[in-house]
Chains A and B, each alone.
Chain A
Amino acid sequence: MPDIDSDFLALPLRELADTALQRARDLGAEHADFRLERVRGQYLVLADGAVETAADSDTLGFAVRVVHNGVWGFAAGDDLGANTSAPNHDAVAAVAEQAVQVAKVAAAITTERIELAPEPAHPNATWVSAYETDPFSVPVGEKSALLTDWSRRLLDDSRVDHVDITLFQAKEQKFYADTTGTSTTQQRVRVAPVAEVVATREGKLDSMRTLAPPAGRGWEYLPTVESELAELPELLAEKLAAPGVEPGAYDLVIHPSNLWLAIHESIGHATELDRALGYEAAYAGTSFATVDNLGSLQYGSPIMNVTGDRTVEHGLASIGYDDEGVATTSFDLIRDGVLVGYQRDRRISRLRGYESSNGCAYADSPATMPIQRMANVSLSPAPGGPSTEDLISGVERGIYIEGDRSWSIDMQRYNFQFTGQRFYRIENGRLSGMLRDVAYQASTTDFWNSMTAVGGPQTYVLGGSFMCGKGQPGQVASVSHGCPTARFSGVRILNTVQEAGQ
């Protein structure tokens, strides 16, 4: 297990926190928290084997959030002082003052008093995610050489016109302290490598990319993607030569590399309590899964069980303590097909009378205020359940889908449309060649209630999104979604070429 980097620990974390929290207390704040954070990012892009972008970012700053006379105030800054031995207490105190000032200005048009669900103090807590090799410890030249080699191998195949390789890497280090006595220091890394091949043949353009999802892992994850490269040219050629799908209703068998996306959009966001209560109404939207439905909404078929979990190993949203100092946990969202829970932060939990938060607060940078963000939301496999082949064998006429591509869902999370990477016709329980131009469209509860089987643990994959947007000002979060392969009946399939009127 890696340790938290010594250069982060050498920052005057506790000293600056004490300054900020004391200043906020002196100005009458009933709650204050201080977050000092360093976020490193590295983005590599190769186009046809040539490095197009290689950029490093390193963001270091701090934020103070207060509740003052029942009103939020938030301010952020990045003046930490000339060096570690001379921290800039004045700048930190000034940001605390700004946060209180903002709360005072906002008080004139605030009618809802801010209260937070209680949380026990967690003094001096630490947490580090599970990885072997810090991706930032690997020289850029070594990375570029590896990705260039991938590109060359793919470009050497005459069925490939272009190769795009992208590699995102991120490392978060957070120190949090609040006026209840909690202080946490945490570190985690994540990587998202993708290789995509593109070709045009006989007037048709298409692409094919790797299925390995982004992961809360280190550099040791790269071979997972590399193992997929050899099959990409053949898959692309088959897709370009495939017939367009005939629109209509089909039974679907959906691999986790595609199904994670349906979970993210139609369950993950729909079971965020802030949405259900309207706190994202003007931007990302609300949710059909309103609070009056809790405990009664038949969200999906009785074989459907979904959890929120910020503790799963290698999860992109996994962490020990959230950005409000709440110890993270695992919790039920859907049990036996029925809506039984929501994802919540401290403020939103208190609004609905919950005794505690379930640890879903997150801020994507030192300059942003924590908002309620998604836990790793996952569909449970069936113990002893079927393999993917078994699921396919039970379909007379259908489509097997792998990989994600386009996605869209309405602002209450009813109507969605997804595409994918690979679509195979199923005839009499067997795969019988690829199809192209496929999109599937459904309403959330219709779709999940049409789920007739879920695969066993051997089909389970932890997929996910590296960049999920929410909030105003906009924030980006990474989140994992585990699921088995699953089977659905009678789902509407569109032909995207026909939809374009071609």
Chain B
Amino acid sequence: MNLSSPQEIVERALELSRADGCMVLVREASTANLRWAGNSLTTNGVTRGREVTVIALTESAKGTSVGVTARSGLRGDDLADLVRAAETASRDAAPSEDARPLLGPESAGTGDTWDAPPATTSISVFSEFAPGLGRAFERRGAAGHLLYGYAEHSVTSTFLGSSTGLRLRHDQPSGTVDLNAKSAPPETGGGHSIWVGQATRDFTDIDVDGLDAELTRRMRWGARTVELPAGRYETLLPPAAVADMMISLYQSAGARDAAEGRTVFSAADGGTRVGERLSELPLSLRSDPAEPGLECAPFVLASTPGREITAFDNGLPLRRTDWISDGRLAALRQTRHSAELTGLPVTAHTDNLVLEQPDATGTLDDMIAGTERGLLLTCLWYIRPVDPQTLLLTGLTRDGVYLVEDGEVSGAVNNFRFNESPVSLLERVTETGATVPGLSRESGDYFPRTAMPPMRVPDFNMSTVSQAS
């Protein structure tokens, strides 16, 4: 049997299936990456792989049970073994609570062209970027600085087929670049440290010289250092840091957990807080598969049953969803099952996130100019949940905290550990700027498609000083 194409694998696996229902996902992924440290490339690589997932369903009087098996490195007649393994697992399994009838073509979304070969990337995606990086190495070296960082590009083509006739395919390009400069070698403490990052779909929009110029500006900001104690400070959060906080909020916005009283979005008297005002500003937090520059899968693609994303919803169309609308909580992440539990519409997880205040137009520089005294963060790091009831997060500032005085950056400040809740931040935010693409430092490697505004918070809780520099 020749299984040269993912489409053939989908069709053959469905033919082999003897289960009461079956879904097959084939993911073809190729990646290319460059990593550097101390003004020199350190590691680099390319990979290519295919993963086949078979989801078999067995109906019984007790309900629908499901078996999931996934394999990469599949060889020849392994496919029959894979299908049988999924079927055996489904017969062994207890019924799934979130089981729902599989979607058919009439109720599913639409995807990219089914018959086209998988999209791919290669090391050549860096053909313009790599020379730019080389120039940045030279400039940093001449300035006595050291450049560290990473660039990655991946393209994943996912093919979804089902026994109910679905044939959907999505090609997802993703890319990120991190540039981190230090004024002294890390082995001696590292000196002043700064970072810029950007997400991209194809690296054609990455201007290394421009990113490096921003590093130069921030390095100048660090010429003077200021020691400040822990405390609550008026703080300007750039889009990257806002993305860090909003991704954490989005990940905690599961409808079922909220309905069960387990999250910050649980109502005190049961149910969810959908409809409650979260911010005095007319903010919207949304996901939209068609968001320009942040395009993502326009239908549900999931390999397993689950609490917040489930394979039973595979193919479900995704459209613009406002999670927060005009400052009010408008929706939570739902499966069809949780939507029935909560009585709210199906609003499924979507792989991008945009925070926006419709009438806000200012830039981060405008907000700096309008600040009498405050802190300017550049990015956040090691963010972890502390208390689900308040969504209290702890984490640290990193690679550049600056003091703003009389409308200008006046020096670099020590790092801090913060204890803050993104929900509380939305309650207290007093100003936002125009929304622009912003790469989360903490989560950008797996959630790169975000656009956020800069944000002013009057009393950000810097819990302790961190000695890290």
Contacts and interface: CB of A to CB of B under 8 A. Distances in A.
Asked if A pairs with B, the answer is yes
Nearest to A287: B186
A287 B69 CA distance: 40
A115 to B, nearest CB: 13
Q: Which of B149, B417, B445 has the most CB of A within 10 A?
A: B417
A105 B417 contact: no
A321 interface: no
B68 A367 contact: no
Contacts of B121: none
29 contacts: A50-B94, A50-B95, A50-B97, A53-B304, A55-B68, A60-B73, A61-B49, A71-B41, A72-B42, A74-B43, A76-B47, A82-B75, A101-B123, A105-B44, A106-B41, A108-B134, A161-B260, A275-B186, A276-B186, A276-B187, A291-B187, A408-B395, A409-B396, A417-B386, A417-B394, A472-B33, A474-B446, A497-B390, A500-B419
Contacts of A139: 92
Interface string A132-152: 000000011100110010000
Interface string B14-29: 0000000000000000
B136 to A, nearest CB: 10
Interface in A407-449: 407-415, 417, 419, 437, 439, 441, 443
Given A494-B419, A500-B419, 18 more contacts: A51-B305, A53-B68, A54-B67, A56-B89, A58-B70, A77-B48, A78-B72, A78-B74, A108-B130, A204-B389, A276-B186, A281-B148, A290-B186, A411-B381, A411-B396, A411-B468, A415-B465, A437-B387
Nearest to B41: A110
B398 interface: yes
A369 B45 contact: yes
Contact of B461 (A83, A162, A499): A499
B460 to A, nearest CB: 11
A279 B123 CA distance: 22
Interface of A: 38, 43, 45, 47, 50-61, 71-78, 80-83, 98-99, 101-103, 105-106, 108-112, 139-141, 144-145, 148, 161-162, 198, 200, 203-205, 275-279, 281-283, 285-288, 290-292, 366-369, 371, 406-415, 417, 419, 437, 439, 441, 443, 472-474, 492, 494, 496-497, 499-502
B49 A76 contact: yes
Nearest to A74: B45
Contacts of A141: 91-93
Interface string B110-133: 000000000000010010001101
Q: Which 4 A-B pairs have the closest CB atoms?
A: A60-B73, A141-B92, A278-B186, A74-B45
Given A281-B190, A282-B149, A283-B150, A112 B75 contact: no
A419 B97 CA distance: 33
Contacts of A473: 31, 33, 152, 445
Interface string B63-99: 0011111111111110000000100010111111110
B183 interface: no
Given A50-B97, A74-B45, A407 B384 contact: yes
A52 B186 contact: no
B424 A500 contact: yes
B392 A499 contact: yes
A56 B390 contact: no
B363 interface: no
Contacts of B186: 275-278, 281, 286-287, 290
Contacts of B229: none
Contacts of A368: 47
Given A57-B70, A74-B45, A415 B417 contact: yes
A410 B73 contact: no
Nearest to B138: A109
A102 B44 contact: yes
B189 interface: yes
B391 to A, nearest CB: 8
A161 to B, nearest CB: 7
A198 B130 CA distance: 51
B342 interface: no
Chain A: interface secondary structure?
mixed
Given A53-B306, A141-B92, A408-B382, A499 B463 contact: yes
Contacts of B41: 71, 106, 109-110
A140 B89 CA distance: 6
A454 B455 CA distance: 47
Nearest to B65: A51
Contact of B152 (A99, A411, A472): A472
A54 B88 CA distance: 12
A439 B393 CA distance: 12
B319 interface: no
A63 B22 CA distance: 32
A416 B242 CA distance: 22
Contacts of A500: 386-387, 390, 392, 419, 421, 424
B35 interface: yes
Contacts of B69: 55-58
Given A82-B75, A369-B45, A286 B386 contact: no
Nearest to A162: B260
Given A74-B45, A102-B45, A112-B40, A499 B382 contact: no
A112 B35 contact: no
Contacts of B76: 81-83
B467 interface: yes
A59 B72 contact: yes
A81 B75 CA distance: 6
A209 B425 CA distance: 30
Interface string B278-304: 000000000000000000000000011
Contact of A497 (B89, B98, B382, B387): B387
Nearest to B419: A499
Contacts of A496: 386-387, 392, 419
B195 interface: yes
A414 B468 contact: yes
A409 B178 CA distance: 21
B142 interface: no
Nearest to B42: A279
Contact of B307 (A47, A81, A112, A145): A47
B305 A198 contact: no
Nearest to A65: B45
Given A56-B89, A443-B467, A83 B75 contact: yes
